[in-house]
Amino acid sequence: MSKRLSEIYGMDIFTEKAEYVGKVGDIILNLEKGEIMQLSLRPFKPRELAGTDIRRVLQEETIPYSDILRVGDIIICKKDPRREGRRV
């Protein structure tokens, strides 16, 4: 099954334990590889964010696409990035 990027925006995200994470606010792409790198829980506008805010958003409010388990009517991910405290 395939989806257009425009269909992913606004989709609900849940963990594999059925915990609500949020909605897809933005999608971070690797254009060289043609891959989705991360899903952001809020719209990502670098021009509106200071350097430290960008780092915080990348650490706390994005989900690496490698952590996405399923994309259908909703998105299922391994864990909630806001609870993990991971580093970029």
The highest-level CATH class for domain 5-79 is mainly beta
- Ranking 4-13, 21-30, 56-65, 70-79 by mean pLDDT, the lowest is 56-65
Mind listing the pLDDT tens digit for each residue in 9-32? 999 999 999 999 999 999 999 999
pTM given for the model: 0.80
Return the half-sphere exposure (C-beta side, CA atoms, 13 A cut-off) of residue 88.
Answer: 16
Report the distance separating Cα 3 and Cα 71, nearest Å: 9
Residue 48 CB partners (closer than 8 Å, separation 6+):
none
Q: What are the beta bridge partners of residue 29?
A: 36
pLDDT > 50? residue 87? no
User: What's the whole-number average pLDDT of the chain?
Assistant: 86
pLDDT > 80? residue 55? no
Domain boundaries, given as residue ranges, for the chain: 5-79
